[in-house]
Structure 1
Amino acid sequence: MKTPTAAEIRELFVRFFEERGHRRVPSSSLVPQNDPTLLFTNAGMVQFKDVFTGREKRDYSRATTAQKCVRAGGKHNDLENVGFTARHHTFFEMLGNFSFGDYFKKDAIAWGWEFVTSPKWLGLPKDRLAATVFAGEGTLPWDEEAYGLWKAQGVPEERIHKLGAKDNFWAMGDTGPCGPCSEIHFFQGNDIPCAEEKAGRKCEGVACDCDRWLEIWNLVFMQFERSQDGGLTPLPKPSIDTGAGLERMASVAQGKRSNYDTDLFQTIIGAIAKLAGKRYGEKDDDDSVSMRVIADHARATTFLVGDGVLPSNEGRGYVLRRIMRRAIRHGKRLGLEKPFLADVCRVVIAEMGQAYPEIRENEAFITKVAQQEEESFRRTLDKGLAILEAEMRKVGIPDAVAMGKPATPPPAKAARPVIDGKVAFQLYDTFGFPLDLTRVIAAERGFDVDEQGFDRHMAEQRARSEWKGSGEQAVGDLQKAIAGDIGEVKFLGYEVTKATAEVKALLANGARVAKARKGDAVEVVTAATPFYGESGGQVGDVGTITGLGGLRIRVDDAQRPVPGLITHVGEVLEGELAVGDRVELAVDEARRDLIRANHSATHLLQFALRETLGEHVKQAGSVVAPDYLRFDFSHFQPLATEELKKIERRVNELVRENAETETAVLELEKARQAGAMMIFGEKYGDVVRVVRIGPSKELCGGTHVRRTGDIAYFKIDSEESIAAGVRRIVALTGPKAVEASQREADELRQAAQLLKAGALEVAQKIEQAQRRMKDLERALEEAKSKVATAQSGDLAAQAKDVGGGAKVLAAKVQGDGKSLRELADKLRDKLGRGVVALGAEQDGKAILLVAVTKDLTSKVKAGDLVKEAAKLVGGSGGGKPDMAQAGGSDPAGLEKALAKVTELAASALG
């Protein structure tokens, strides 16, 4: 059998299980849906979590996937090890086969063994394989069944190993589904170093952390339900969740000791080596480590940005930024002084775009984000490194090696000097250095970092690297249970806004009930509905539900808490409602029409943005409401006035074309091939709805106008930045756009009347008035200066001689802080040697200013004088030795304050 490529292994795996009745399910987004507690999708089962618990039902009971995963933050964080080991990655692919209450251990074990060993499939030698089973622990029984099933496959007893709960028992949480695991391990060879043997102990074989026996497949048998007291109850429908890392599969199938030496990485690493003019070696030299880091991080960057994650200073974006900046720094260590990350991302896309077409479709955006982030970080990197270098020289070893190269040998742990936490925080806050980057650079030089000090300085800011939830609303268990009980609610709203349907479920005041009465806050679920449940940025419909016996419910919102479920949220105003009743549902049609216009306008706006600004523009969020639309999109600089005008004109051109809206229901892949736009991170089913509005073609489940002319008029209200690389346009359509235009016209007419000008002359008149104002301000300053000069001559004559050729002048004058400073300068020049103290009252406050000629500042300081004088006007102040200023709340004390300055200055100088 020829050596398979990773792409061939991926396809072989999925096809193997397809032939055994499994549904091929596309990889879900790296941003988990309906799970705000999870940072990234980190396992194949994430998208099926609710299916396993019974909260969600699908039309298949077997599935197989190649799932993209990231582990780089929170609990699952492999970032520090990436590049230094053979197996750690931030981004990886997990091959999986799943049974939702269908087959169980017998088939899962037989199929796993067949795929791994059969010459038709992976064809690994059986004599290099071993299996593990759960050995039992405490009250948990050992998995005798799995042991017998492995024996039935012909695995010798001596290669079926029993492991404890740490390795071979899985649980979704402290309570809930759980069960034993069983693994397949591949023997790589005893020549691989083992830390246990180096320490004089025996290698533990499959239980050892060394890579002599490499786990390549994990089968989870969801067999029990764990209760609060720890008791285990057999599940009525036990399930299967398996995971086989593609990177590991490829390494053993291709005879490689490191994942980085497989074809998944070698093309990418080759491109990096060419850019750097370096040679990649399989050993852990600095250059090879850096190439592995960049290869891994470029894959993570490509897929995270491709799923809509953008670098930022919090949450998922912060983790992405850490990954990107770590790659950029390793590029600098390779001597790459020009931006390179976007080029490496292009290689990733070329290598993996066929398996994951979303990255190919978003190539322009992905590379733009990579370019932008690298350029931004490079501008601050050198400054940050200089600060860190200075700190190291200050506290550390004077003859340290050049920045970025490890000390040889590094100082012992106990003797390491420490980088101040305040400096680490400054590097983070000002120069964008994640703490772990500072830690890595410091460790390379033999330094530690005062992380507690760093944390103190971060106390007023949200911890960046620890995921605490996305802020999304978690879906309630009651709604999930209802969805599992009744199935999908049929949406009728594309065709009608009124319908009759049966009530299938009912929540009143937060509890599931059979009946609701007047005054109850309810969520009503019907078999079908014309109400659009909020999703895809479009707000939910409002309206009424009526029925027999005078039933009347005000519907304040329609929600879609679970895929396929639409709930009507509102209040029972009259009568009673029971499950099983037939009711009349009526949407507020006038409001729906406004929403339709705004939703269709977002499609035309996205088309105009891409046409005007470039194909890197992607939707990054939206709100479609009756009174406005909000559209967030990827772009990296403010839009010029002419660009905004061009976009607005283009949308209105498309509106006037009055093109008919066309919809089609297609298989996802056919829709993709037809060029339909897809939204970042959106989870699509196998069959999708394609909406064509003029030249725009998008996947969309929302409601739309029948013809573009129904939008009537489109007007951009505002454009602003909301995050790095993301901008927001708020726009209006139809009557709201007309109202806004009329308000602006009214304001313009009023301004014209005040300026005594025509409406089209307002800007010209304002410009003339501004020029006139500047001329007047300049003339006023000149007049003040002349007055100050004249005043200085009169005041200088009032100076008192205090001996030694020095004089003191204290006087109350008129003016503000600026004019007092100018006057004090002139008086100081006229005195030649002495002290000037001026006081003034402005807006009910006292101002004090003291100036000292430079030759006297060793004897008397302006700051000391003004500080004492300020106490007499109820204030405080300070400044330089030759000039200082103070303010106070009591101008009545100015005479005493000036006298105090004279007294103190005379005493000091006399």
Structure 2
Amino acid sequence: MEQLGLNEVRERFLRFFEGKEHLVLPSFSLVPKSDKSLLLINAGMAPLKPYFTGQEVPPKKRVTTCQKCIRTPDIERVGITARHGTFFEMLGNFSFGDYFKEEAISWAWEFITEDLKLPVDKLWVTIYQDDDEAFDIWHDKIGVPAERIVRMGKEDNFWEIGVGPCGPCSEIYFDRGPDKGCGKEDCAIGCDCDRFVEFWNLVFTQFNKDEEGNYTRLSHPNIDTGMGLERIAAIMQGVDSLFEVDTIRKIMEGVSDIARVQYGQNKKTDISLRVITDHIRGTIFMISDGILPSNEGRGYVLRRLLRRAARHGKLLGIDRPFLSQIADIAIRESHKAYPELKEKRDYILKVIEMEEERFDQTIDQGLSILQTFIEDMDKNNIHQLDGERAFRLYDTYGFPLDLTKEILAEHNMDVDESSFKKEMEIQRERARSARHETNYMGTEDNLYDVIDTDISTAFKGYDVLETKSKVINIIKDNELCEKAEKDDNVILLLDKTPFYGESGGQVGDKGIIKGDNGKIVVEDTQKIYGNRIIHKGKVVEGTISTCEEVTAKVDKNLRMAATRNHTCTHLLHKALREVLGNHVEQSGSFVAPDKLRFDFSHFAPLSDEELAKVEKIVNEKILESMDVETIETSFDDAKHMGATALFGEKYGDIVRVVKIDDFSIELCGGTHLKNTAQAGVFKILGESGVAAGIRRIEAITGMNAYMHMVRLDDILKEMTVELKTSTQDLPKRIDMLIGQIKDKQREIDMLRSKLAINSLDDILKHKKEVNGISYIAVKLDEQDMDGLRKMADVLRDKLGSGIVVLASTQGSKVFFVAAATKDVVKQGIHAGNLIREVAKVAGGGGGGRPDMAQAGGKDPSKVDKALEYVEKILATQLA
């Protein structure tokens, strides 16, 4: 048995099946396409679901892949064992109605025994208990002894999810030897010990299960196999876990070097080394597929992995940001198989750096909040932190439970872990319910399933805006029909169309479809599975029937407006790279007739100067009247030309390149101008942040930009008339008026302060006592925070001994101030802690020193109630 590296095993597998006439497809993105059942791709067959269900025609009936996958249900166990991981690569060979059991079994055996040269006497297989066909192939054709073919029940060796296609499976095991086992006499296949390792699962999809539980044979059965790359590499290298496989071990060694610890010497540090190693592998692939850290969905998964890795770095004693350094090693080990990692290296590392810095900030906040909890518990003689608070620290601030427990233990306290786990389960349930329940393989039942998969639409809209077309299908009320009548809402499928179907960020065309007997107003056009374009609209005249010839005509003005915006997104992309740097990558876009929206990677808001430079470059390129050329070529040739591809996009063998002179060249299937001058003018409306490391620019072009400038000019004229000045002098006039308003406001504030100070004696009459401590808690009218502080200082002096709490409102804002004399501070009064609790009643927060503090609130209606709470808080502080 050869000692093969992980990268070599992957290459050998793909080349082997390529030799068996399989099409080698690159790994699909971790972000599922049109599959709401999955948050992330978690199996080799998952991206191929449309081919298995018949929604799409596969590029070939035989396919092989190495698919990157993420699984997170057991994330808490990652690191604790040497088996569990969130990221893995799945090797697979697939047949869509072509070959079946005999070929699948024969080729699997040929690969592992002749190519990988695994010892035959170490191999075992399992089959479904009733699958005599599989037994005969394994025993009679392959020659596996009957005693090494284990029949297992439906739970282990029959693949099905609800109703739909399903079938038996056969698994291949490797016997690592008795020394790796549990030592029990009955140790065999199925034992939980480490002796028998299942590494390849062959699924024979040969039945269809109906609602009544009946199984009928499929006329075209499928093959779906999956072999864990890390698992087979561990077998080839004779190591005990995936973390000791060559490429993965190098990542872990990088962590060890930084932390100055050795793997295998300490159980606790081993856990942290495994967590960091696994999580960093997953994060580099997630970011390369366009996922960014966030608080929901797959972005939350990424954030959780990164923060869990960063936290384990701290447990190892690493006191500086280090994850990007480890990520660089992971990229180096995998970029030959996944070139996008090298292409996006700088971007990936920057995202990781930013998230690790953000975690450092939030964990410090967590420490501060935990300290407050400890102080409250100590004063109230409580020794256990409730699970809700512990979970809030974990969920909001990324504060790990074990660190919370460790800090609490120093104060002879602990955590209510049972209620913490309940909160964790509630969150998991929310995540589960957010995903859609679906049928076979996660595909949704939808009205497009009624369309014959052999039908496709020829798109003619790059060259013409009107075609003579034939109506292939009419869908009304989710069903196929022969005819549609006036006022019917319908979906039409034509044999050819000039209408652009929504894709690549560009919205679908609108227009008219007209026949001899009727007319449809098309309100939207969309692309669906199988290279089909559907037209959504309403019959406004007469009737439309299947098989009749119609005229399909796009609304020229709307198409042209959208086209201007689309071409300008390309100019904008290049301009941003020139002004900000080559790290800028498009991460999303929206192109409609009225505006464009462009999302891109950048790590800070753009300054006014940067925005002005970008806008100027785009307009310069418009005025240079640059030719816009579209070229159809192979993907590899397009890359050699320097064409930019988008995050997460999958491109076919033939791609469309949009080249704007020598300025911009991108892969794009959208509609574009012939010359940049057709855009007219480009105007940026705004720039904002939409996610960590992602900025957004909104802009307009053509007549929309012109009308925008007309509206601004009208506003300017109104202002000059209203303010009785000229356009040139308008800024000076506004500055003067603002200055006058500020002066008047200062006068008003001074008068209010004087009036308030004159009423000090009245305020002092509100003095009360609690446990011998004097206090005043009153509400003043229309005072800002500065005015309240001055009043509190004066009242504190007048009071002599005690604490003053003042509140005021201005509109929807609430202000609180507390000031305590030194003697009552010594007795346990803390103005900062008091004002924080007071402000909570009014929906706010704050704090400060023991002798002076301030806070804000959001609910003016709760101010009186908040002030009533002062007595109770003081009593608690003095207890």
Instruction: Indicate whether the TM-score tops 0.5.
Output: yes
- The answer as to whether partners of 2:128 and 2:169 remain within 8 angstroms in 1 is yes
* Residue 171 of structure 2 is aligned to residue 183 of structure 1: yes
Q: What is the deviation of 1:833?
A: 11
- The answer as to whether partners of 2:572 and 2:618 remain within 8 angstroms in 1 is yes
Alignment map for 1:496-895 (pairs within 5 Å):
496-549=464-517, 551-694=518-661, 695-783=663-751
Q: What is the deviation of 1:116?
A: 0.3
Q: What is the deviation of 1:270?
A: 2.2
Which residue of 1 is the match for residue 231 of structure 2?
Answer: 248
Alignment map for 1:2-41 (pairs within 5 Å):
2-41=2-41
Which residue of 1 is the match for residue 129 of structure 2?
Answer: 135
* Residue 209 of structure 2 is aligned to residue 220 of structure 1: no
Give the 3-state SS of the residue equivalent to 2:733 in structure 1: helix
Q: What is the deviation of 1:325?
A: 0.6
Q: What is the deviation of 1:159?
A: 1.0
- The answer as to whether partners of 1:109 and 1:150 remain within 8 angstroms in 2 is no
302, 308, 318: which one aligns with 1:336: 318
Alignment map for 1:185-584 (pairs within 5 Å):
185-194=173-182, 197=183, 202-204=186-188, 206-281=189-264, 285-385=267-367, 419-428=385-394, 430-433=396-399, 449-450=416-417, 452=419, 465-466=431-432, 468-469=434-435, 477-482=446-451, 484-486=453-455, 488-549=456-517, 551-584=518-551
* TM-aligned CA distance change 1:43 to 1:821, over 3 Å: closer
Give the Cα separation in 2 of the matches to 1:164 and 1:813. 77
Q: 1:682-716 deviations in whole A, cap 9, x for unaligned? A: 23223221212242222211101111111111111
- The answer as to whether partners of 2:82 and 2:274 remain within 8 angstroms in 1 is no
- The answer as to whether partners of 1:796 and 1:831 remain within 8 angstroms in 2 is no
Give the Cα separation in 1 of the matches to 2:87 and 2:804. 70
User: What amino acid is the match of 1:523?
Assistant: I
Give the Cα separation in 2 of the matches to 1:839 and 1:295. 53
Q: 1:209-236 deviations in whole A, cap 9, x for unaligned? A: 2221111111000010001111100000
Give the Cα separation in 2 of the matches to 1:838 and 1:418. 35
Give the Cα separation in 2 of the matches to 1:740 and 1:614. 30
- The answer as to whether partners of 2:138 and 2:144 remain within 8 angstroms in 1 is no
- The answer as to whether partners of 1:290 and 1:330 remain within 8 angstroms in 2 is yes
Give the 3-state SS of the residue equivalent to 2:14 in structure 1: helix
Give the Cα separation in 1 of the matches to 2:233 and 2:595. 51
Give the Cα separation in 1 of the matches to 2:675 and 2:437. 37
* TM-aligned CA distance change 1:3 to 1:581, over 3 Å: same
* TM-aligned CA distance change 1:764 to 1:122, over 3 Å: farther
- The answer as to whether partners of 2:520 and 2:538 remain within 8 angstroms in 1 is yes
Unpaired runs of 5+ residues, structure 2, are 767-775, 812-816, 826-849, 862-879
- The answer as to whether partners of 1:509 and 1:520 remain within 8 angstroms in 2 is no
User: What amino acid is the match of 2:187?
Assistant: C
* TM-aligned CA distance change 1:291 to 1:673, over 3 Å: farther
Give the Cα separation in 2 of the matches to 1:496 and 1:506. 24
Q: What is the deviation of 1:852?
A: 13
- The answer as to whether partners of 1:788 and 1:822 remain within 8 angstroms in 2 is no
User: What amino acid is the match of 1:108?
Assistant: A
Which residue of 2 is the match for residue 78 of structure 1?
Answer: 74
- The answer as to whether partners of 1:37 and 1:468 remain within 8 angstroms in 2 is no
Give the 3-state SS of the residue equivalent to 1:759 in structure 2: coil
Give the Cα separation in 1 of the matches to 2:136 and 2:275. 40
User: What amino acid is the match of 1:306?
Assistant: S
User: What amino acid is the match of 1:239?
Assistant: N
Higher Cα Rg, which structure: 1
User: What amino acid is the match of 2:566?
Assistant: H
- The answer as to whether partners of 1:143 and 1:180 remain within 8 angstroms in 2 is no
Give the 3-state SS of the residue equivalent to 1:742 in structure 2: helix
User: What amino acid is the match of 2:685?
Assistant: D
Which residue of 1 is the match for residue 876 of structure 2?
Answer: none
Identical residues among aligned pairs (%): 45
Give the Cα separation in 2 of the matches to 1:838 and 1:367. 50
What's the TM-score once normalised by structure 2's chain length? Answer: 0.84
Q: 1:355-374 deviations in whole A, cap 9, x for unaligned? A: 11222221122111100000
What's the TM-score once normalised by structure 1's chain length? Answer: 0.81
* Residue 129 of structure 2 is aligned to residue 160 of structure 1: no
Q: What is the deviation of 1:544?
A: 0.6
* Residue 137 of structure 2 is aligned to residue 148 of structure 1: yes
- The answer as to whether partners of 1:854 and 1:882 remain within 8 angstroms in 2 is no
Q: What is the deviation of 1:278?
A: 2.8
User: What amino acid is the match of 2:446?
Assistant: D
Q: What is the deviation of 1:772?
A: 3.3
Q: 1:559-579 deviations in whole A, cap 9, x for unaligned? A: 112241100100112222222
* TM-aligned CA distance change 1:369 to 1:821, over 3 Å: closer
Give the 3-state SS of the residue equivalent to 1:339 in structure 2: coil
After TM superposition, the structure 1 stretch with the greater mean CA deviation from structure 2, 493-502 or 775-784, is 775-784
After TM superposition, the structure 1 stretch with the greater mean CA deviation from structure 2, 382-391 or 732-741, is 382-391
Give the Cα separation in 1 of the matches to 2:307 and 2:798. 59
Which residue of 1 is the match for residue 834 of structure 2?
Answer: none
* TM-aligned CA distance change 1:18 to 1:855, over 3 Å: closer
Give the Cα separation in 1 of the matches to 2:186 and 2:215. 36
Q: What is the deviation of 1:855?
A: 11
- The answer as to whether partners of 1:84 and 1:284 remain within 8 angstroms in 2 is no
Give the Cα separation in 1 of the matches to 2:353 and 2:23. 39
Give the Cα separation in 1 of the matches to 2:853 and 2:66. 72
Q: 1:65-104 deviations in whole A, cap 9, x for unaligned? A: 01111101xxxx2312222333321111111100000000
Give the Cα separation in 1 of the matches to 2:808 and 2:225. 82
Give the Cα separation in 2 of the matches to 1:839 and 1:529. 68
Q: 1:130-169 deviations in whole A, cap 9, x for unaligned? A: 1111114xxxxx3443443344212111111111122211
Give the Cα separation in 2 of the matches to 1:796 and 1:51. 79
* TM-aligned CA distance change 1:792 to 1:255, over 3 Å: closer
Give the Cα separation in 1 of the matches to 2:354 and 2:69. 25
* TM-aligned CA distance change 1:687 to 1:722, over 3 Å: same
Which residue of 1 is the match for residue 814 of structure 2?
Answer: none
Q: What is the deviation of 1:672?
A: 3.2
107, 115, 124: which one aligns with 1:111: 107
User: What amino acid is the match of 1:203?
Assistant: C
Q: What is the deviation of 1:454?
A: 7.5
Give the Cα separation in 2 of the matches to 1:382 and 1:779. 42
- The answer as to whether partners of 1:713 and 1:737 remain within 8 angstroms in 2 is yes
Give the Cα separation in 1 of the matches to 2:795 and 2:206. 93
- The answer as to whether partners of 1:498 and 1:585 remain within 8 angstroms in 2 is yes
- The answer as to whether partners of 2:386 and 2:415 remain within 8 angstroms in 1 is no
User: What amino acid is the match of 2:387?
Assistant: G
User: What amino acid is the match of 1:129?
Assistant: L
Q: What is the deviation of 1:384?
A: 2.4
- The answer as to whether partners of 1:55 and 1:477 remain within 8 angstroms in 2 is no
User: What amino acid is the match of 1:502?
Assistant: K
122, 125, 146: which one aligns with 2:119: 125
Give the 3-state SS of the residue equivalent to 2:178 in structure 1: coil
* TM-aligned CA distance change 1:648 to 1:210, over 3 Å: same
* TM-aligned CA distance change 1:437 to 1:154, over 3 Å: farther
